[in-house]
């Protein structure tokens, strides 16, 4: 029987790993691999010694979006329930997200839709916001929590992730959210990374660009399995 201590430890180590990645990657966001290697190779520690590290939506999202499940069950929670929770935990254009403006920042655009009574999932849809806005990476970044809440229950994880991702994203943006959540849910029992990714891939829309990209990445890895320079 799985103990609370085991569940706690595995979620904690996963969450710690994500936050290490946030802290490590923030100074080089949008850099190419060759640019990173040119400036920092080899990387043996954090690249910048911050005296303070500001709140980051990569962590804020998974932490606070899960609050909606305090008041709803897996079966009855809706996209609009999740949208209402977002409005409750996100300050008025302060902190949490990048507030880059309507039609520029995906989350800002969806948030403005919500406060102007455009309900989810239309709030994040490509028909409302355009494909360029709706397919950004936020849906993927914010979805860890649904995997943690549904360990070894990928169908529940993917349902929750799809609902929350659709508040702010659509199409491939939503597929990314589903993929991360189902990977985390499956990782409770699947330890091999390739098997995990292949299994999670089966839960996505197979004709989506996102699924095609995952297949291409797997093929590329099989061609160069021990070549980090690639």
Q: What pLDDT digit, counting tens, does each position of 15-28 carry?
A: 999 999 999 988 89
94 domain residue, yes or no: yes
125 domain residue, yes or no: yes
9 domain residue, yes or no: no
Residue 137: partners with Cβ closer than 8 Å, 6 or more residues away: 173, 176
For 68, half-sphere exposure in the C-beta direction (CA atoms, 13 angstrom radius) is: 25
14 domain residue, yes or no: no
Looking at the predicted structure, is the pLDDT value of residue 215 above 90? yes
5 domain residue, yes or no: no
State the Cα–Cα distance between residues 113 and 76, nearest whole angstrom: 23
Instruction: Measure Cα distances from 18 to 86, 108, 124, 184, 193 in Å.
Output: 21, 23, 25, 12, 16
Domain count, the chain: 1
Confidence grade of residue 227 (pLDDT, cut at 50, 70, 90):
confident
169 domain residue, yes or no: yes
User: The whole model's pTM is what?
Assistant: 0.93
76 C-beta neighbours (distance < 10 Å), count: 8
More reliable by pLDDT, 55 or 117: 117
73 domain residue, yes or no: yes
The whole-angstrom distance between residue 208's C-alpha and the CA centroid of its chain comes to 17
Q: How far apart are the first and last CA of the chain?
A: 42
Length, in residues, of the chain: 230
Domain, as residue range, for 61: 57-191
């Amino acid at each position: 029987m799985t103990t609370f201590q085991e569940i706690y430890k595995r979620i904690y180590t996963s969450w710690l790993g994500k936050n290490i990645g946030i802290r490590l990657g923030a100074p080089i966001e949008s850099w190419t691999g060759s640019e990173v290697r040119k400036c920092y190779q080899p990387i043996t520690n954090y690249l910048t010694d911050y005296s303070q590290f500001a709140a980051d939506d990569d962590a804020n999202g998974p932490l606070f979006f899960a609050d909606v499940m305090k008041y709803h069950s897996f079966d009855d929670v809706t996209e609009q329930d999740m949208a209402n929770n977002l409005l409750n935990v996100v300050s008025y254009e302060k902190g949490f997200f990048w507030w880059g403006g309507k039609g520029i920042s995906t989350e800002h655009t969806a948030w403005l839709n919500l406060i102007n009574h455009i309900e989810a999932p239309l709030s994040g849809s490509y028909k409302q916001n355009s494909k360029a806005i709706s397919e950004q990476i936020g849906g993927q970044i914010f979805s860890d929590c649904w995997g943690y809440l549904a360990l070894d229950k990928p169908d529940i994880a993917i349902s929750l992730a799809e609902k929350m991702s659709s508040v702010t994203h659509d199409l491939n943006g939503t597929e990314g959210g589903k993929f991360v959540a189902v990977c985390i849910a499956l990782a409770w029992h699947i330890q091999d990374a390739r098997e995990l990714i292949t299994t999670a891939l089966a839960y996505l829309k197979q004709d989506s660009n996102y699924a095609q990209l995952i297949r291409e990445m797997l093929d590329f890895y099989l061609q160069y399995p021990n070549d980090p320079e690639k």
